[in-house]
Amino acid sequence: MRSESLIGALKNHRVAVVQVLLLMAAMAIAFAGMTDRSYRGGITGGCSQAYSHFLKQATSASPRAISFCNEQNADVADLIVEPIKAGTQSIAVQIAGYGDTPGISASLVGADGSTYPVALPRAGDEWVPWTITLPEQLRSQQSKLVLSDRSKEGFGWIGVGITAGYDGWVPVSIALLLLAMLYPLIRRTGSLSTPGAPQPGLRARRPLIVASAMSIVTLIALILRRPSQFSNPYVWVEDGRDLLPHFVKYGWQTLFEPVAGYILIPNKLINAAAVSLSFRWLPEISLLLCVLFTLIVILVIAMSPTRLRAPVLCAFAVLAVPTDPEVFTTSAYALWWGSLLAVMPIFWDEQRAPSLRCRLPLVVVGALSSPFIIFLAPLYLARAIWLRRRSEWILAVVAGMLAVVQAALVVLNTVPSGKPYQLPGIPIVIGKFVGNYFWWSPDSASPALAAGIGCAALLVCAVYAMAQRRRNGVVISLVAACLLLAIVASTGRVMVDPLDPFNAGPRYFFYPYIFISWLLIQLMAEARGVARFLLIALLVAPLPHVLQHGQRTHEHLDWRDEVSRCTNGTAVEGIPIHVAGYLSFVWRSPLSADACRALVRESLFDNTLTSDDLPLNPHPSP
């Protein structure tokens, strides 16, 4: 009887019990952070641990750097660990590499310039603990640890890491505290108020109004995020290096030739159409087609009959994704937009639009855009099992077949790199793909803080999702599944450690950050009052660094001048192709002078070769 009465009392006071548990968790985590006596500092110099082919990657989200940069063991580098505050008797760090190699040394340097050598251990290709006792002379002043790599031997390199993750405790504790305070409001999210029925005339004009407004907003967003691509259109990366030679070799059959191990129909279709219309005006035509394709994707997100709440806001979130706009307005990255088409049928409201007439083309085009369909196919299967409709099984079969095609092409065309792939640790994944969405700084040296912010955000989303599971639980679960699969897709392709949403591989954050935005929007649509305000604050948190760092420009190159140099044979190395936007780092399109002249002649317009386009000495004397 006592146990039954206790259970009954707990049920009657469920909200208070949850609040107490959240408060206790917040206090425990705060206490753990305050009592953490690990060394607290940062590392400058060196490069990511991912540059070592053999070093076992650390799984914790804490700063690490090695002197093995540019894939050369004989790099010269200084790794500096600082500050070591006055009064510190010893510090505990992690060390990797070959500290006993001639030319590699370590020393403690005081604020007064005094230097004290420190013996380095030989750790090899793994991270091992290293405790350094400071000499008495340095304990009264601030100091730093300097590891110098001046080795010229093939195996000489060194690495250092900080193990403290104290930065991550604070956001988790704050999140738990906020959840404890807001939990009663979160539970009482209430149902959405039903707006009055629109007038017949307004109802008929609404799609046109939404489409017009979204078109204008999309064009403005694209111009703001990549202004140089509109003022000086140019050809980028694989579009010039791979797709142009493929078109010369295969013609329109190039649409089905894999690039980088998979089929990417949007890229090749835009590129082939632009080249066929006019090789001289390829960048401008490609830009126009890419903008139209992007607009189609945005309109599909905003206006499709899906179960997504606030779909127009979801479309805005794609345009404002908090990454470098690497994938914007260039046909070389159209595949990233194309795959979003395959996402929409997963959220389709089959009661409003049961036909496959719209959904099937979205699945086919999206699946033939990139291998992302491999990760989405299980969601199509889950949807078919849940709804048990013939149309859903057809979609699941089509998605599965196309996923098998893309997977087979990836397997058959992937060249082994010889580098052993190591699974990343969960803290660093959460820090990169969740934490950096909310907090990012170009000078940030605290991955533990990013991991803590990511964990805090996931806690908030989980509590809100549980409160809304009976009204919007299916959609929230699907968005969360898309987020998880997008992260798995990114981490399975490249090493996570050097990735950065604004500086290194921002395209790998495109899908995860979109789905984080969508998850917050779905939760916000059902929340009320102060509880909704918290979600709005999380949703707008990335805007400052989007406004400050979310724009990309590039240095000027004149495509028609380069085409002319190619046709007359003076472009010996090939047409320069933009990679990062700098003239100091370009690829070269391997097109011969004959190929360039053929592409000009076969264009539909501006296809006349003048004397400037012909070889300067077509008949050299013997």
Query: Binning pLDDT at 50, 70 and 90, where does residue 476 land?
Result: very high
Query: Binning pLDDT at 50, 70 and 90, where does residue 202 land?
Result: very low
> Which of residues 61 and 520 earns the better pLDDT score?
520
Cβ-based neighbours of 273, under 8 Å, separated by 6 or more: 285, 289
Phi, psi values for residue 596, rounded to 5° = -65, -45
**Contact assessment for residue 294 and residue 308, using Cβ atoms and an 8 Å cutoff:** no
**Contact assessment for residue 456 and residue 427, using Cβ atoms and an 8 Å cutoff:** no
Average pLDDT estimate for 390-413: 91
* Per-residue model confidence (pLDDT) at position 196: 44
Residue 121: is it exposed, middle or buried by C-beta count within 10 angstroms (0-12/13-18/19+)?
A: middle
Q: Has residue 278 got a pLDDT over 80?
A: yes
pLDDT, tens only, 490-518 = 988 888 888 889 988 899 999 999 999 99
Output the six-digit token pair for 267. Answer: 């890229």
- List b or e across 569-578, with b for residues whose CB sees 16 or more CB atoms inside 10 angstroms: bebeebbbbb
Output the six-digit token pair for 557. Answer: 């190159």
* Per-residue model confidence (pLDDT) at position 533: 86
Output the six-digit token pair for 315. Answer: 């479309």
> Which of residues 282 and 613 earns the better pLDDT score?
282
* Per-residue model confidence (pLDDT) at position 167: 67
* Per-residue model confidence (pLDDT) at position 445: 59
Asked which of 25-29, 101-105, 402-406, 579-583 is least confident by mean pLDDT, the reply is 25-29
Rounded Cα distance between 480 and 472, Å, is: 12
* Per-residue model confidence (pLDDT) at position 616: 67
* Per-residue model confidence (pLDDT) at position 61: 67
Residue 211: is it exposed, middle or buried by C-beta count within 10 angstroms (0-12/13-18/19+)?
A: middle
Q: 332 in the Ramachandran plot: left (φ > 0), alpha (ψ -120 to 50) or beta?
A: alpha
Phi, psi values for residue 108, rounded to 5° = -100, 130
* Per-residue model confidence (pLDDT) at position 364: 95
* Per-residue model confidence (pLDDT) at position 190: 43
pLDDT, tens only, 551-567 = 999 999 999 999 999 98
* Per-residue model confidence (pLDDT) at position 571: 77
- For strand 143-149 and strand 115-118, is the pairing parallel, antiparallel, or unpaired? unpaired
Rounded Cα distance between 58 and 62, Å, is: 9
**Taking all residues of the chain, what is their mean pLDDT, rounded to a whole number?**
84
Closest CA to 582 of 551, 561, 548, 553: 553
End-to-end CA distance of the chain: 111
Q: In sequence order, what are the beta bridge partners of 106?
A: 118, 147
The SS3 of residue 72 is strand
Q: Has residue 67 got a pLDDT over 60?
A: yes
pLDDT, tens only, 90-121 = 888 889 888 888 888 889 988 888 888 988 88
From residue 144, give the alpha-carbon distance in Å to each of 64, 111, 562. 16, 8, 51
* Beta-carbon count within 10 A of 144 CB: 17
**Contact assessment for residue 117 and residue 106, using Cβ atoms and an 8 Å cutoff:** yes
Asked which of 36-40, 346-350, 596-600 is least confident by mean pLDDT, the reply is 36-40
Phi, psi values for residue 597, rounded to 5° = -65, -40
* Per-residue model confidence (pLDDT) at position 58: 67
Cβ-based neighbours of 103, under 8 Å, separated by 6 or more: 149, 150, 151, 152, 153, 156
**Contact assessment for residue 116 and residue 135, using Cβ atoms and an 8 Å cutoff:** yes
* Per-residue model confidence (pLDDT) at position 187: 65
Phi, psi values for residue 390, rounded to 5° = -60, -40
Query: Binning pLDDT at 50, 70 and 90, where does residue 527 land?
Result: confident
Give the global pTM.
0.86
Give me the DSSP letters along 69-103.
Answer: BTTBTT--EEEEEEEE-TT--EEEEEEEEETTSTT
Output the six-digit token pair for 232. Answer: 């000086």
> Which of residues 600 and 35 earns the better pLDDT score?
600
Q: How many helices (H) and strands (E) does the chain have?
A: 23, 11
**Contact assessment for residue 379 and residue 481, using Cβ atoms and an 8 Å cutoff:** yes
* Helix 311-319 vs helix 510-526: crossing angle, to nearest 10: 150
Rounded Cα distance between 279 and 341, Å, is: 29
**What is the side-by-side order of every strand in the sheet holding 64-66?**
64-66, 158-161, 90-98, 122-133
* Per-residue model confidence (pLDDT) at position 444: 63
> Which of residues 367 and 20 earns the better pLDDT score?
367
Q: What percent of the chain has pLDDT over 90?
A: 37
pLDDT, tens only, 128-141 = 888 888 888 888 88
